[in-house]
Chain A
Amino acid sequence: MTGPRLLRLYAAGRRVPLALLSTAVCATGLRIALLRHWDAYGALQLPLIFEAAAAVSVTATAASPFGEPERVAGRLLPYLRAAVTVALTAAAVGLLTAAGTGGHLSGGTLDVLRNVAGITGIGLLCAAVLGGGLSWTGPTGYLVAAVYALYTQWHPPVLATPWLWPARPPHDLGGALCAGLLFGCGLAAVTVRGARDRIGDPAAA
């Protein structure tokens, strides 16, 4: 029973229940928002805001309160980091998709999956480089850029780079690859190194 016990303590220390709760709040917010009728802007931009917020909730769990004693405690930590991050990302996608079921969720499940995974990847990279406390900065900046990219759909010149995937159709391969690449890089960085403890702290082993 040591495996589940370790997982439970790890999850508690990383405030995973709080992350799940805030993701559920995001899903509820999305559901309530979808009850209204939105113009084309709102229909595209509102889900993206809730998706980014859910992604921030996931990336916040990368921060460790334990510091170096945990980092040098053994070989199990990377597995815990990867498992919890993937599980939380899947939960966020599932909750947001469920919230959109039966509503007018622009882009559908594919859009949610791509947006949440990609923005989570950005947040994880920020956690690895800047620290867990600043993991929200990347997703927030990306959200601003993505909302602008959506705006240019009606006000050319259109921003059409696949790196701004929320402005691309849900089945667009380039956008999916970019989002997947960022998620993979962010997950790898946080799995191997963990979130940086604080600015100025040398890289973890």
Chain B
Amino acid sequence: MNIEIDGLTRCFGSVEAVAGVDLKAGPGVFGLLGPNGAGKTSLLRMMATAVPPSSGRLRLLGRDPGGYGPRREIRRRLGYLPQNPGHYPGFTVAEYVEYVALLKEVPPARIRAAVATAIERVELGDRRKSRMRTLSGGMLRRAGIAQAIVNEPELLLLDEPTAGLDPEQRVAFRTLLRDLGQRATVVVSTHLVEDVAAACAQVALMDRGRIVFHGTPDGLAARGAGQHAGDTPIERGYSAVLAQARS
């Protein structure tokens, strides 16, 4: 298992953003669904080693990120795209991706090819020499995905990766996700249930810091039988599970 989580919590002041989550995930694409404020981003940030848990047990790639040495090794093998990734506007797309590759200690002989491959995979090959300041929102998002996958991560964490992408790009991105999920554990946090239905083998639905459903997208869709809120079966399942959790 690349992700093993037991009773994980994270508090910000008096707010318990993640309230005792248990989760295990191996290779494949894992969807993390939930309404705003459900705790998806906080959970993802803990998995990215960006913030430590308040309590509970977290193991990533078979290691405990609480220790400096294991955390360093996890980070080298991790890819992370937060909700709002920053960038230096004066960098070209290639420089931006190369910078992250160098920080992640991609072997020097492989850097050029790794950068080119990552940029091609997000279909920005023709913009690789464009300055970041000249890119549209969707292109910036794709550049962010490129930096996350440049080290061919074994654990890839993506927070709202399809925000700002047009429908054609979203379809291409789902294909990329399925491809990445062949070798790595890919966790995708999103509001867009159709992305989960199309690309994820497993899905967890969070509400108020807890996981209220864990199973397959089909399993989630099945929970929506007889419901009317939502246009697709999985949306109806999403609404039904949330309504049940809140009742």
Contacts and interface: CB of A to CB of B under 8 A. Distances in A.
A67 B76 contact: no
B99 A204 contact: no
Given A67-B84, A69-B80, A74 B108 contact: no
Contacts of B102: 2, 5-6, 9, 76
Interface residues of B, number: 36
Nearest to A202: B51
B148 interface: yes
Nearest to B144: A69
A76 B103 contact: yes
Contacts, number: 89
Interface of B: 12, 45, 48-52, 71-72, 75-76, 78, 80-82, 84-91, 95, 98-100, 102-105, 108, 111, 144, 147-148
Interface of A: 1-2, 5-6, 9-10, 12-13, 64-77, 197, 202-205
A73 to B, nearest CB: 4
B85 A77 contact: no
Contacts of B90: 12
24 contacts: A5-B98, A5-B102, A6-B99, A9-B98, A10-B99, A12-B90, A65-B86, A65-B87, A65-B89, A66-B86, A66-B88, A67-B82, A67-B85, A68-B85, A69-B85, A69-B86, A70-B86, A74-B72, A74-B75, A74-B105, A76-B105, A77-B103, A205-B49, A205-B71
Contacts of B12: 202
A55 B47 CA distance: 37
B88 A1 contact: no
Given A68-B45, A68-B82, A13 B100 contact: no
B103 A12 contact: no
B88 A68 contact: no
Given A2-B102, A67-B82, A202-B12, A13 B50 contact: no
